[in-house]
């Protein structure tokens, strides 16, 4: 098993000689693109999480989506066949509310641009959510919600331009839905930023406020972050000094993984949440710039990744390709093209 120190540069995916459910006490699971997409569960998620729970792993759901209160998210999970309580859900609205509470007096009014998830999180921290600048708020908090429109963004812009502190739940540019990839909170934040020229304080993944909120609420001693996004889930694990599992059921592609900078490199990779139930093979340095995993060997040659061998597990080939690509990048060489090798793996 591999333990990651904060800020450590990873040059290859890690290995684990036992199921990840045995190696870690808590899975900190992203939701959108990992457990569900819109109203529907991701394939293999329900049965994989049931097996992980039966193996003794605690499941906590950590999401940058601030639109719904934890009880609503837990209800959605339960309807999908994944039993959950409100206490199992940690969202960026909670992290944002804790951050806002550190900036304003107890009982202060806060202008909300977002949904019920933000309102409930503010009330939990003893603050009063309002929807108009005329109500005298002392800060602005913004999070994703499908209802957010021009008038809400304009009200936020007036408040921010007037000097009020501005906290946003997250800056994810996109969000996976049942119909495909849609604009996320970061896209809406960009509108207010453009109108005001002000940079917000960000609470959600990958930044420290979200990691602190997760640790406070779960009490995890040896957690594993599980996500589909390099720039939030995996970078958040990197910043927090904990291990991570990247699954390919959301926004990240194998080609993006090969090009990942150090802070976006996961400890482990798997097609989907079934990866929680198995170990992870080690990537071996074979010398002369070659790396092996399973029956595959990978290396960089004249700006292109090469692959030889084969096996029944194409993700072993991907692990070997990651080692070759990341090592070449860290050596200061030019970017390597892995498209042909990925096509050979069917990825």
Catalytic residues, which ones?
Answer: 30, 32
The full DSSP string for 156-209 is HHHHHHTT--EEES---SEEEETTEEEE-HHHHHHHHHHHH--PPEE-STTSHH
Strands 201-202 and 180-183: unpaired
SS (H, E, C) 58-105: EEEEEECCCCCCHHHHHHHHHHCCCCCCHHHEEEHHHHHHHHHHCCCC
Cβ(230)–Cβ(196) under 8 Å? no
Q: Which value, in Å, is the radius of gyration of the alpha carbons in the chain?
A: 21
Helix, strand or coil, per DSSP, at residue 142? strand
Query: How far apart are alpha carbons 169 and 98 in whole angstroms?
Result: 11
Question: Which residue, chain included where needed, has tokens 């194998």?
Answer: 254
Cβ(34)–Cβ(249) under 8 Å? yes
Rounded alpha-carbon distances, angstroms, from residue 142 to 96, 146, 198, 340: 9, 13, 14, 42
- Is the omega angle on the peptide bond into residue 206 within 30 degrees of 0, that is, cis? yes
**Main-chain phi, psi angles of 80, to 5 degrees:** -80, -5
């Amino acid at each position: 098993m591999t333990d990651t120190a904060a800020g450590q540069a990873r040059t290859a995916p890690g290995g684990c000689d036992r199921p990840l459910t045995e190696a870690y006490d808590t899975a900190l699971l992203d939701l959108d693109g990992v457990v569900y997409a819109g109203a529907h569960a991701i394939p293999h998620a329900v049965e994989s999480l049931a097996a992980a729970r039966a193996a003794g792993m605690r499941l906590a759901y950590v999401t940058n989506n601030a639109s719904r209160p934890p009880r609503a998210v837990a209800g959605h999970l339960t309807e999908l066949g994944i039993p959950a309580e409100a206490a199992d859900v940690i969202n960026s609205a909670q992290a944002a509310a804790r951050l806002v509470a550190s900036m304003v007096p107890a009982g202060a009014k806060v202008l909300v641009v977002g949904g019920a998830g933000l309102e409930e999180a503010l009330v939990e921290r003893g603050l009063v959510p309002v929807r108009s600048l005329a109500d005298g708020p002392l800060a602005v908090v913004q999070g994703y919600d499908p209802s957010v429109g021009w008038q809400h963004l304009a009200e936020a812009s007036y408040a921010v331009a007037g000097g009020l502190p501005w906290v946003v739940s997250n800056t994810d540019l996109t969000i996976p839905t049942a119909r495909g990839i849609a604009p996320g909170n970061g896209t809406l934040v960009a509108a207010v930023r453009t109108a005001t020229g002000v940079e917000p304080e960000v609470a959600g993944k990958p930044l420290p406020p979200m990691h602190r909120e997760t640790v406070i609420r779960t009490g995890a001693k040896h957690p594993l972050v599980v996500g589909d996004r390099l720039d939030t889930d995996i970078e958040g694990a990197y910043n927090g000094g904990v291990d991570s599992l990247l699954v390919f059921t959301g926004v990240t592609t194998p080609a993006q993984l090969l090009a990942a900078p150090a802070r976006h490199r996961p400890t482990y990779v798997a097609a989907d949440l079934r990866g929680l139930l198995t170990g992870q093979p080690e990537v071996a340095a074979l010398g002369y710039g070659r790396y092996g995993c399973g029956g595959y060997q990978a290396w960089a040659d004249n700006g292109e990744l090469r692959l030889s061998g084969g096996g029944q597990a194409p993700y072993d080939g991907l692990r070997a390709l990651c080692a070759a690509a990341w090592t070449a990048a860290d050596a200061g060489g030019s970017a390597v093209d892995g498209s042909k090798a990925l096509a050979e793996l069917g990825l």
